[in-house]
Amino acid sequence: PGPPLLPCRGNIASTVSFYMIFTTQLQQRAIDCLRASYTM
């Protein structure tokens, strides 16, 4: 299966970028939670 590898690589790149955005959002939520706990 040589040809299907190209779209797979594209999907991997898109999923990696999606995970990067997802993890950054999780970090923002974690920072907000930490700030809320510290302010309380």
Task: Record the pTM.
Answer: 0.49
Amino acid identity, position 20: M
Tokens of 35: 């700030």
Gap between the Cα atoms of 16 and 22, Å rounded: 10
Q: Is the pLDDT of residue 15 over 70?
A: yes
**Calpha distance 37→27 (Å, rounded):** 15
pLDDT(9) > 70: no
How far separated are the first and last CA of the chain, in Å rounded?
57
pLDDT given at position 7 = 54
DSSP 34: H
Q: Which two tokens stand for residue 28?
A: 């923002």
At residue 39, what is the residue type? T
